[in-house]
A and B are shown apart, each in its own frame.
Chain A
Amino acid sequence: MTRLDFMQGNVASAEGAIAAGCRFFGGYPITPSTEIAERMAARLPRVGGTFIQMEDEIASIAAVIGASWTGMKAMTATSGPGFSLMLENLGFAVMTETPLVVVDIQRGGPSTGQPTMSSQGDMLQCRYGSHGDIATIALAPASVQEMYDLTVKAFNLAERFRCPAFVMADEIVGHMRERIEIPGSVEVAKRRPLEPGRLPFAAGPDLVPGFPSFGRGYRVHVTGLTHDERGYPATNDEAVHAALVERLVTKVESSRREIADYEVMNPDADVVIVCYGAPARTVLQLAAEQAGPPVGVLRFRVVWPFPEHALGEFPNAEAFIVPEQNMGQLAREIERHTSLPVVPVPKLGGDLHTPGELARVVEEVRRR
């Protein structure tokens, strides 16, 4: 039985996390994400979970990694300044193949920037912020309903691929309240245990090893150093390092079609708007009310790994228009995958593009 509610996006994300089986939250409050921590603090003790407010974001993500290694589903929520602090340990989570979820309610940056204003300025930070080569899983909700649904999905993807998964939301979607239908139950991915007789970091054909939770009969060495299949450091072995990093990247990148989640409207259109997150709401409004030839819409719910094949859904496309609440972070990625013109429409300061602003860009692009 679904349940109707009028709920804030941040609260919906917390509820989605609990439905997905999250039983540990370690965090440090930061606007505009704080309502997620507040909701988890109220809810987790009632479902047998643990909420802990740490001394800062570095400790928060460390606590989440530790909780995940005990077999728990664990998360944190933050915004840009906190996300920056978490980066070192997020690289550690990638290297140690630790499933966890980070919800980033993006605000204007750089630095402490605009605490109460919306942005999509962390889209490249989540992809490339860690040193070394990594692959990233990042989702981008555009409604309160998707704050719930995509938080559930992030937990499932984190389990499936044994890596961090990011819900890259923004202040608008995080703080907006709207109608939501909460499902009676959701599909929940279970953590796959280590198969008996296998080494802890030896992967099968899907490149994802089973998980040897602490306290379940295993003594496992977990290190951020380059490690062999036993988990022990092998830092000077070129072949071990190359094979490990290639596997960590390939396990995600080779599954981009499985992970991909996007919406296509008007596939025959000549001009296509590519969008994700809150700006998608403007794009959908424009597509619904626009007179004249229809504009194509490609809306990503998953941004990383970048679903490059989706650009091919528009065989008649002559240009891609990319409105973002940043200076063109995903536009640059799109340019890598098409020979067609890519027109970024940056918007800084916190407000949404208006439908009129985007309509003018569509007209200009058509005149070219």
Chain B
Amino acid sequence: MLAAVILGRAAVMYDGKYAVQTQVYGPEARGGASMAAVVIDTVPILYPKVSDPDLLVIMSQEGFEKYGAGARRDARMLVDSGLVLSRPGCPYLEVPATDDARTVLKKVIVANIVMLGALVEATGVVSREAIERAVLDSVPKGTEELNLGALRQGYIRGGEAFHEAA
């Protein structure tokens, strides 16, 4: 959810675009499945929901089954390879975001920021500068270096090649 908010913020505040971020979540305070979606455009966005995404980031097996399994064949997907067992019917990039957060950054909580870095590097959906400024706007004081480190780790993973559809 936070990663989606940061992505929308980067597009609006630092890339001069329009963005709408929406989400689906349950009544649980913690631990429930959730999905967040972002539409980015150069003109004002009317219909705010995402019916058929062309980019997907999947960070749980449950999320894959619900949102990833039916992805368009010409979509592109980033999967957290440590958390998602299945592979999609569209080109995909394996990003060990949670493993990198645990072993490289020593804080599993920044897995979403690693993934965000990979997404930006692999797709150019927003600029590096925009995502870095939006991350700095959004994270608690004292965690700036940790989060920028997570982004940079993500850039490395995002530079790798996509796999063909499974």
Where the two chains meet, the residues of A that have a C-beta atom closer than 8 Å to any C-beta of B are 4-6, 31, 115-116, 172, 175-179, 278, 281-282, 284-285, 288, 351-352, 354-355
Contact = CB atoms under 8 A, between A and B. Distances in A.
Contacts of B23: 175
B20 A176 contact: yes
Q: SS class of chain B's interface: helix, strand, loop or mixed?
A: mixed
Contacts of A285: 46-47
Given A6-B8, A177-B5, A178-B48, A172 B27 contact: no
Given A5-B12, A176-B22, A177-B19, 17 more contacts: A4-B12, A116-B25, A172-B48, A176-B20, A176-B21, A177-B5, A177-B9, A178-B18, A178-B20, A178-B45, A179-B12, A278-B48, A281-B46, A352-B47, A352-B49, A354-B51, A355-B47
A116 B22 contact: no
A364 to B, nearest CB: 21
A21 to B, nearest CB: 28
Contacts of B142: none
Contacts of B45: 178
Interface string B1-44: 00001001100110000111111111100000000000000000
Interface string B30-72: 0000000000000001111101000000000000000000000
A6 B20 CA distance: 9
Contact of B22 (A4, A175, A179, A284): A175
A281 B48 contact: yes
A177 B27 contact: no
Nearest to A278: B48
A291 B47 CA distance: 17
Contacts of A172: 22, 48
B9 A6 contact: yes
Which residue of B18, B24, B27, B47 has the most chain A CB atoms within 10 A of its CB atom? B47
A31 B48 contact: no
B13 A178 contact: no
Nearest to A288: B46
Contacts of B19: 6, 177-179
Contacts of B51: 354
A294 to B, nearest CB: 15
Given A116-B26, A175-B22, A177-B5, A284 B46 contact: yes
A177 B25 CA distance: 15
B6 to A, nearest CB: 9
